[in-house]
A and B are shown apart, each in its own frame.
Chain A
Amino acid sequence: MKWIEKYSTVLRISLQNTFVYRSNAVGGLLFYSLFIFVFFNLWRAIYQGGEVAGYSLTQMVWYLCMTELIVFGCKSSVFGQMNEDVKSGSIAYQLNRPYHYIIYQFSNALGGMIFNLLIYGTMAIILGLIMVGPIPGFRISALPFGLFSAVLGITINFFFMMVLGLTAFRLEENTAFFLIYQKLVFMLGMFIPLEFLPKWLQSIARCLPFSYVAWAPARLIVAFSWDFFWQVIPMQLLWIFISIILSVSMYSYGVKGIQAHGG
């Protein structure tokens, strides 16, 4: 059980580190609120009663609160950090330690996210309640399933960022991958629900990982159904599996040819 202690210490120290950025957290919360408020008004103007693609205005606003919670909560991106480590050469310190680099980074990222998710989560609930009130027919008993899916979504996001970040071991410049990935996640479910997109695009997106980061959990939270749950959870698990395999093989490939810069 030594390894549990090892990685839980990593998580704890990383969590401690996030407490340092207090003003950063306040600024982030303000920006988050502003963002939600602007889009709340936009959606209110678009919705003149009724629903769009099965989402009522209340659900839409909660949907937005949830997807943005994932964006803001997972801001400390493993991708950016790895790029910086490779470019500054401090990767040299991280590679010759007795741990598995990927698990280390995962615990590190989790530690960095817990606090953020808590504060943005609280803010999401407050904003949602103030702007549109609770969703009619919302069952609190279904919430854990939605949250479970959110954890899976965050995990998918982490490992894909890891895969992209690992390209830094071999490539000089890799930010383009990150931008493409980010935009895909944004367009395929983060900004608007997948149902708003044309049918053909929806069916493509359902086969890709990007929508399972934010769309699947957010929809489960605002409009839970067992049917949908059993549709998306296996897909999420599949993508986690694939992304882990990818990052492990990328790692073992990358580490052999790493170009350690500086000094």
Chain B
Amino acid sequence: MSAIEVRNLNKLYRARVKEEGLKASFRALIRPSYKEVEAVKNISFSVEQGEILAFIGPNGAGKSTTIKMLTGILHPTSGDISVLGLDPTKERKQLSYRIGTVFGQKSQLWFHLPPTDSFTLLGAIYDIDKMILKKRIEELTECFELGDLLKTPVRKLSLGQRIRCEVAASLLHSPDILFLDEPTIGLDVVVKHKIRELILKMNREQGTTIFLTSHDTGDIEQVCRRAVVIDHGEIILDQPVKKLKYDYLNRKIIAVRYDVDQHMEMPKGVTLEKAGKMGARLSVDTHICPIDEAMRWIISHGGVADITVEDPPMEEVISTIFSHQAVTG
């Protein structure tokens, strides 16, 4: 049985528009003009129970809007949603017992109180038996290595520590589905890795279905098995991450700086994006030129002062997908 079923989902916003300047402000005061914004356009997909799905796209693509509709916060303009067999719009309360949400940029913990108080409160809100709650908190404390954090006021936690507590808080009532909206935003590499591991662990051990939105390619590569790419409110791709990786995440950006002037002949699969006197920005197609070959080639010139390797930003991956789809139709 699928955990989430979405058919022809649409969400229209009415946004107020105003031109620049005082005159326009005054005009807008008397007769405001609106424009319709299609945040989500006719999307359909389904998620199986126990699946880990990445819902990805650049900022403003409609990811959060979709999550908010799936959890019943926003009402869709049209279309059908079924989450665990329930209609989020009409059966929000029943559904809320069975799903957990984490919004990376917001907090559900009480800012001045230690997380343990927020956990007690959530326990009461979700009608969790005191003994069960206690056991569950112990379990999550161990799994998320919360230990001392539980007794520290939230305002004194670092972002990484707080997010760990936020995710744990969303799992107190053992939800069947966990919605994560940009859970790793603003975190450093180590903490990101930690959060990803925890998500995987929850999925493996408890069979929790994971619905994750992100615009971080790392989140997708390391956590998810399937990816749905959304842009301008439309699904432009729905395929296994493996394939996505092979087709689109095959490029690495390498920025290198040398001690001395270099004249470089590009090998096959490496293109020069930007050349400086002492350094360069290169784009490597790892299908043609594997990354270790590229690195060896760079180092062979000698005198490397600094080097960074990055994934291309999500925006670029998406435009590649677009151009690819335009070609193949």
Contact = CB atoms under 8 A, between A and B. Distances in A.
B105 A263 contact: yes
A258 interface: yes
Interface of B: 13, 16, 64, 68, 71-75, 92-97, 99, 101, 103-108, 110, 112-113, 117-118, 120-121, 123-127, 153, 181-182
Given A98-B96, A99-B125, 16 more contacts: A9-B121, A10-B125, A17-B110, A17-B113, A92-B101, A92-B103, A96-B73, A98-B94, A98-B125, A98-B126, A98-B127, A257-B75, A258-B73, A259-B13, A263-B64, A263-B103
Given A10-B125, A89-B103, A256-B75, A263 B113 contact: no
B121 A13 contact: yes
Contacts of B73: 91-92, 95-96, 258, 260
A44 interface: no
Contact of B117 (A5, A16, A104): A16
25 contacts: A2-B127, A6-B125, A6-B127, A9-B124, A10-B121, A10-B124, A17-B110, A17-B112, A88-B106, A89-B106, A90-B103, A92-B73, A92-B106, A93-B103, A93-B107, A95-B92, A96-B95, A98-B97, A104-B125, A258-B74, A260-B64, A260-B68, A262-B64, A262-B106, A263-B105
A199 interface: no
A172 interface: yes
Interface of A: 2, 5-6, 9-10, 13, 16-17, 20-21, 88-93, 95-99, 104, 172, 256-260, 262-263
Kindly name the residue among B71, B73, B75 whose own CB sees the greatest number of chain A CB atoms within 10 A.
Answer: B73
B260 to A, nearest CB: 47
Nearest to B121: A13
Nearest to B13: A259
A6 B173 CA distance: 14
Contacts of B93: 98
A218 to B, nearest CB: 32
A2 B97 CA distance: 15
A263 B74 contact: no
A255 to B, nearest CB: 8
A263 B120 CA distance: 27
Given A96-B92, A258-B74, A263 B181 contact: yes
Contacts of B153: 20
Contact of B106 (A93, A99, A104, A259): A93
B110 A13 contact: yes
Contacts of B104: 263
A263 B72 CA distance: 16
Nearest to B123: A9
**10 closest cross-chain pairs (CB), A and B:** A9-B124, A20-B112, A93-B108, A90-B106, A263-B64, A13-B121, A98-B96, A96-B71, A96-B96, A95-B73
